[in-house]
Each structure stands twice: as C-alpha cells, then as structure tokens.
A and B are shown apart, each in its own frame.
Chain A
C-alpha cells in the first residue's frame, strides 16, 4: 500500500458562477521512502496540490489518504516546509524547534526532548547558531531551521512547498545537496514542489510534471535512475541527466504551448524612425514634415497570435 495516495481528486475555488477549477483528476501514489518532486509553473496549482496532502485543503471530489486512512486535517505525521520559513521571530533557533518537539512528544522527558532538538540542529549544521534569533540568520540558515523543525517531528512524510525558491543560486545549491544528504541518511518520504526542472532531477527519485492545463493535471512520472550521492558538477556530463532534463523541459513547454488560446489580430507597424537629437545636425527635423521613415516599406500589416 502506498504511503500517500490521492485518487481522482479535484479542487476549485470561488463561488458558483465565478469559480476557478485549479486541479482535476489528480492521481498520485507515493511509496514509503520515496523522494518525489512535482514540477510546475507558478500559479498552476502546485501549492494546492501539496495542501491536499497536508490537509490544509480538502478535495472537492476524490480522496486523499495517508497509510490508507483519509486525510481530514493537518497533523504531525506530515511535516510541512514553507517557502517563507515561518519561524517565530521572538524565539531562538532552539526554541523554535523545541516548540514543535514539546508539543508532539509530550510523553518524553525534558532531557530526551532537548537532546532531540540538539540532534536536529546539528543535522542542519547550525549548532553554532542555536541561540540566535531568526533575524540574525541569513535566508539559507532560516530555511535550515525550518527543515530541522519539520524533521524533528519524525513525520512520515516531509512536504516541501518550494523550499528554496526565495534563496540565491549558490545557497540553493548548497541546501539541495544538504537535504539530499539528510534524505540519504534517514530516508523519510519526501514530496517536494518546485518550479526548477534542474533542481527536480538533481534531488528526486521520481519527477512528476504538473501540466498547466486549466485545470491542471499531473503528467507522466519520470524516473530518475541516477546514482546517489549525485555530484552537481559531474551530473552535467551524464547522458542520462541530459536526456531526462530535455524530456522534462519539453514536456512542460509543450503543455504550456497547447494550452495557449490561439487568437490572432491584425496590427500595424508604422514606418517611423526615432529622432536622434544627439547628432550635430539634430535640428534637421525642422526642415521636414513628419517623422523620419525607412522609405522602403509602407506601414506594415502584421498578424500576431497571442
């Protein structure tokens, strides 16, 4: 039995008459220990999809279940990492994590909980900053705290909603590697959402494109059978990586192209040239009527499809 299963789910928002259907016919099965990445355009419904799993959103039709039982609301068995870190600004790194740990592991002793917090801070390499406040940390460090907090709940599945999108390219690369390393060690099931195809292939076992049809549907899974740990430099030379990347990108681009409403309109490109006032004879326009023209073409009629 798959750990997470979504069957024929659809979801829309808004009142009848002005409703937007966001997701349709979503079928997803994620096995325990799997690292799945869902790639899609901004605004295509990626976050709605992950919220179906986290329980923050319930499907209009169809079902979402974890270990066979239906998902009715959020719970500590599904850890969620947001793009904007969501740390409490008045608590230190350790306190932020302890807040979650104390809530979930009420039956543990104080020492056990403290050790658990310290272990997860060390896992994301922040032991030196355990007593700092979020505002004293960089974006990358804050996201590490958020990952540590989520992992400390020992969730069955880690849900990451564009976890690295707000970070610069270098920090992003470092964190991709670190998260992949952590996953290799503890094999928690991961569902990761991103809009970056390279990121997807680099970290995932399986990449699923969310196709931007309206409403959006999941495309065919792409299995990434590249050995771990993956070296981001070496992977560029890997023919498997190249072909997977080309396949994924063209799948997403094709879906976008098909979805475009083809309408064309006639436009006129007027035959006028800019006036250049920096030339020595700048005021020659005083001696002519109207603008400078190319003289070769008349106004051009152009069909534009948009």
Chain B
C-alpha cells in the first residue's frame, strides 16, 4: 500500500457565478474543502443550495468561476475517467445490457488489457453489486434499484481516483435505499476510493461518511459547518442505530438543517465554528474574526 495522500482533493475558494439578465448571480461562494485519500465525505444541505453545483464543478462538468481545484496534486480541468460519477438516475444506455453498459467504460480505460481481463473486471463488479444473475438483462428489465446498482458498478469498475455521487439513492424508497447503501459500503470496503457524495438524507450521511459538510442555504452558499463521524468501519447499521452518539450526530445535522442553515459564517462577525469546522478552516488558513480576537 502506498502512503495515503492527505490532500487527494483540494477545493480552494471555489466560486460559481452565473450571468443573468439581472446581473451576476452567485450560487456558490468561497467554498473550501480538502479531502484526504480514502475519505468518504458528504455534502448536505437543502434543495437548491448549490451542493450539486459543487459536485459538478469537481466532476469537471461545470466550470469554476473562481478558485482552484487540485486532484491528486494536479489541476483538474474538464471531466475525465479519473472521476467516476453516479447520478440520481442511473443514465444507462437502454439498448445495451447491464454488462455492456459497464464494458463501455471498461474498454475505454483498460484498452491495454486483454479482452478476457476486461470482461473479468465487469463481471467482478456486477457480481459484487448483486447482479451476478441479471448482468445480461437490459435496463428496461431491471427495477430502479437494480439499475442504480449497475450505475454504481460502472463507476467502481473504472477504479477512478475519486468517486462523485449525486444523490445516488434519491429516487429509491427508503428500504431499497438501505440495501443500496450496504452495497455501496461493501464495494467501498474493498476499494477505498476517495468519495464526495451529495445527499439531503441525514441518516444516509451519517451511515456512509467519515465527514459531513453542511452547506448554508443558497444563493451564495458556503460551508456552514463540518461534522466528523467517529464510527469505526466496517459499519453495521443496527449497531450504529443503537449507539447513543448516532442520535447526537443526527440531532446536530437536523438542527443545522432546520435552524442554522441560513447563517453564513463569512457574514457573521460572532460566528463560532465547531471544532471539526475550525480544523478544516485552519487547513485553508481562513481566520475568523473571533478566533483572531
């Protein structure tokens, strides 16, 4: 194992500004975040707060208006196979089977490998997500949950440097969602790809991630708070739900979303960051008025 990179992804003072007929509209303002290699981080916030915009900027699908983005020590421009994306709807090609959909990407990034190895790669990931028997079916023959499994397998099979998940389970009912969270964790246990996920489900954020980044309401959204999730891995949902810390963390996130998401740290002279947030801000050399005083 190589030494883990403490700065796999660096988002430094990211801004997203759209030009509108009424003048420029700032969607995301001064967004800072560093992810270490193998970290699972979640962006949480209300609908329309700009979490997906941040994710799409990391994916290279949306241009940065200002700021820098460094992925594994190199400035990342535009989309590429080094960042695997799972969207809310699985976006599979309907005329191809699940297997062919995965092979499409696999053939691109492993073009120097033999055909047999590429096939093994696709079969391996499709089997782990539970589609061992259904991999030669077309998307129309699969349920919504199974389609999303294909999407997850497709992203992991490319062994990207980063995995970007945009509300991957948002369209599923809560029980199917639990199942797919387990599938995702199982894959992630085998290959700890640095992950950034967007969600508005508090329980999902706690169960899956190492760190939850809370975003303030948009427009001009920024990081409002950060919370470290201390549970050890591999995680067991039942044990976590019985852990008293689970409810404290849940409380913290719910309180933020209900009562504090309108507070913008950069506009509040009295803002006191939580310890987890203070640590992140210090890493970016951002001083708060209170910290200086």
Contacts and interface: CB of A to CB of B under 8 A. Distances in A.
Nearest to A290: B112
Contacts of B18: none
Contact of B174 (A168, A197, A285): A197
B237 A253 contact: yes
A304 B128 contact: yes
A269 B173 contact: no
Interface in A231-245: 233, 236-237, 242, 245
Q: Max chain B CB contacts within 10 Å: which of A196, A274, A304?
A: A274
A236 B251 contact: yes
A252 B80 CA distance: 40
A270 B113 contact: yes
Given A269-B124, A274-B109, A253 B251 contact: no
Contacts of A138: none
Nearest to B241: A246
Contact of A196 (B132, B160, B174): B174
A278 B82 contact: yes
Nearest to A261: B133
B158 interface: yes
B130 interface: yes
Interface in B154-176: 158-160, 173-176
Interface in A254-283: 256, 265, 267-270, 272-276, 278
A25 to B, nearest CB: 22
Contacts of A250: 237-238, 241
B178 interface: yes
Nearest to A252: B175
Interface stretch (B115-123, B216-224, B271-279): B115-123
Given A42-B175, A252-B175, A273-B159, A306 B130 contact: yes
Count class of interface residues, chain A = 35 or more
A182 interface: no
A274 B112 CA distance: 9
B70 to A, nearest CB: 14
Nearest to B46: A170
Given A265-B132, A268-B124, A274-B81, A290 B113 contact: yes
B121 A233 contact: no
Contacts of B111: 275
Given A237-B251, A272-B113, A302 B124 contact: yes
B135 to A, nearest CB: 11
Given A249-B241, A268-B124, A274 B158 contact: yes
Contacts of A65: none
A245 B127 CA distance: 32
Interface string A18-45: 0000000000000000000000111100
A154 interface: no
B20 interface: no
Count class of interface residues, chain B = 35 or more
Contacts of B130: 306
A29 B132 CA distance: 41
A292 interface: yes
B13 interface: no
A290 B115 CA distance: 11
A267 B82 contact: no
A290 B117 CA distance: 11
A276 B127 contact: no
A298 B261 CA distance: 50
Contacts of A304: 127-128, 132
Contacts of A288: 112
Contacts of A43: 143
A198 interface: yes
A165 interface: yes
B112 A275 contact: yes
A169 interface: yes
28 contacts: A42-B173, A42-B175, A165-B173, A169-B200, A195-B175, A195-B176, A236-B251, A237-B251, A246-B242, A249-B237, A253-B237, A256-B175, A267-B123, A269-B121, A270-B117, A273-B159, A274-B110, A274-B158, A275-B112, A276-B81, A276-B82, A285-B112, A290-B112, A290-B114, A291-B112, A291-B117, A306-B130, A306-B133
Given A304-B128, A306-B133, 4 more contacts: A168-B47, A195-B176, A269-B124, A299-B120
Interface of B: 47, 80-82, 109-114, 117-118, 120-121, 123-124, 127-128, 130, 132-133, 143, 158-160, 173-176, 178-179, 200, 237-238, 241-242, 247, 250-251, 254, 258
The 6 A-B pairs at the shortest CB distance, nearest first, are namely A274-B109, A291-B113, A270-B117, A195-B173, A291-B112, A246-B241
Interface of A: 40-43, 165, 168-169, 195-198, 233, 236-237, 242, 245-246, 249-250, 252-253, 256, 265, 267-270, 272-276, 278, 285, 288, 290-292, 299, 302, 304, 306
